[in-house]
Structure 1
Amino acid sequence: MERLDQIIRKRQRVEKGDLLYRQGSPFTRLYAVRLGHFKTYQVTRNGEQHITGFQMAGEILGLDAISSGTHQCDAKALEDSEVCEILYSDLEQLFVEIPALLHQFHRMMSQEITRDQSVMLLLGNMTADQRFAAFLVNLSSRYVARGYSATSIQLRMGREEIGNYLGLTIESISRLIARFKKLELLEVTNREIKILDLPRMRGIAAGAKS
């Protein structure tokens, strides 16, 4: 861990709304999110955004650029955030010195691929209820992995951004929130969501009737 700390070049503050990197820019480093939340998105030829993910503290940004050498999306801070920069050439040298670290890195990339595949399932085969439930269950599991509550989620993204990510309209997201509240699955206060029945929410995400 001491050697890993040594290759972290600097901590970088990223203010809300600022870009960490742009789609098409050269890849030279990874970014470990230390504080805050980000969204990644691609911009189509006609200027429309397609959100590809939301990242939080403890996660890595830039992994998608390793194979191509260029970033495949924009990364924008959803709130005032901080990242640790890791020069990829330094990391590769560290893999040679510490083979076990390379194994851990492969595990992390595998988890990232699995998450991307889950998103494809969300957009391809699931109903609107399933998509929204799966989105909340996914956030819950990621919060738990970082030592936070499984049922109390502070959303850093707006309803329009959630809809964009899930392939739904903002009106659909509003209807889903109202429906889940009526079913006593959720309590909502501004952007704070409290999941009242996590096992049932998992069931809906898996295809059970709501």
Structure 2
Amino acid sequence: MDIHSIKVACSSCNLRELCMPVGLNPDEMSRLDSVISTRKRVKRGAALFNHGDRFSSLYAVRSGFFKTRVTSADGRDQVTGFQMTGEILGMDGIVNDYHSCDAVALEDAEVCVMPFDRIESLSREFSALQHHVHKIMSREIVRDHGVMLLLGSMRAEERLAAFLLNLVQRLHSRGFSQSELVLRMTREEIGSYLGMKLETVSRTFSKFVEEGIIEVKQRYVQIKDTEALRRLVNPPSSD
């Protein structure tokens, strides 16, 4: 894995609001800078960490895109999530001190390394940091519940519509378009995440194109009718 360490300062990072708490005073920010002092570059297709690796750090995605996956007893890979700029990787390792999944870069990426013992120690001193760490953990739990709901009760069209809406909303909060996105993952990976066969994913994309809901050029997707996607996920009440 081609990984380089680079000195970095959170105080001068334009992604600070996405992955770090607001409201820290200059002294607190300086102490946080001393903790989060390195970045790692991860090449496309390489793992940031693997299942069974010892847990020591959380990682804030500075650039690029990742997938997390677990391998079932019969050797099949199951994608459990996609993480983008400003999101945190590595929470899975907190409970048992080792990672329970693989985190693989879907494109050349860079992460900020956040040594967990030092973050934990600082968070006991700064209530804003402690609150932020709890908020991130809570967000992961809520996201897991959302995926369970998606897989448990939705048809193929609803699953893909919810996935596209979630992805574009997360990208929009990072300053990207509300209606255009480039899929960093393959359709097979989308299918693994949504519990759908590859053919079903392709057929559903084609159906959305035929209905004028989206336009697709290879991995580029333009959402032409956001409301149609929303209606699929939350059908209007019949009363």
Q: TM-score, normalised by structure 1?
A: 0.96
Please report how far the alpha carbon of residue 207 of structure 1 lies from its aligned counterpart in structure 2 after TM superposition.
Answer: 3.9
1:148 aligns with 2:210: no
Equivalent pairs, count: 209
| AA aligned opposite 1:10 | T
- In structure 1, the gaps of 5 or more residues are none
- In structure 2, the gaps of 5 or more residues are 1-28
Paired residue for 2:207, among 164, 168, 179? 179
Instruction: Quote the sequence identity (%).
Output: 47
1:99-129 deviations in Å (ceiling 9; x for gaps): 1111111112111111111111111110001
Secondary structure at the counterpart of residue 53 of structure 1:
strand
1:165-210 deviations in Å (ceiling 9; x for gaps): 111111111100110011110001110101111122112122469x
2-side partners of 1:4 and 1:196: how far apart?
43
Q: TM-score, normalised by structure 2?
A: 0.84
2-side partners of 1:104 and 1:191: how far apart?
34
Q: Which has the larger radius of gyration?
A: 2
1-side partners of 2:227 and 2:140: how far apart?
24
> Could you say which residue in structure 1 is the equivalent of 2:113?
85
Return 173-182 or 106-115, whichever deviates more.
Answer: 106-115
> Cα–Cα, structure 1 residues 208 and 49, in superposed 2: closer, same or farther, change >3 Å?
farther
Please report how far the alpha carbon of residue 81 of structure 1 lies from its aligned counterpart in structure 2 after TM superposition.
Answer: 0.4
1-side partners of 2:159 and 2:39: how far apart?
35
Paired residue for 2:137, among 109, 112, 132? 109
1:29 aligns with 2:57: yes
Measured on the aligned residues, the alpha-carbon RMSD in Å equals 1.3
> Could you say which residue in structure 1 is the equivalent of 2:18?
none
1:8-63 deviations in Å (ceiling 9; x for gaps): 13110100000110112111100110010000000112211010000001000001
1-side partners of 2:215 and 2:162: how far apart?
17
Please report how far the alpha carbon of residue 3 of structure 1 lies from its aligned counterpart in structure 2 after TM superposition.
Answer: 2.4
Secondary structure at the counterpart of residue 164 of structure 1:
helix
2-side partners of 1:148 and 1:205: how far apart?
22
> Cα–Cα, structure 1 residues 3 and 202, in superposed 2: closer, same or farther, change >3 Å?
farther
Runs of at least 4 residues of structure 1 off by over 3 A? none
Paired residue for 1:161, among 189, 194, 212? 189
> Could you say which residue in structure 1 is the equivalent of 2:15?
none
| AA aligned opposite 2:118 | D
Paired residue for 1:57, among 77, 85, 90? 85
1:120 aligns with 2:151: no
Question: Any conservation in 2 of the 1:133–1:204 contact (CA below 8 Å)?
Answer: yes
Question: Any conservation in 2 of the 1:151–1:194 contact (CA below 8 Å)?
Answer: yes
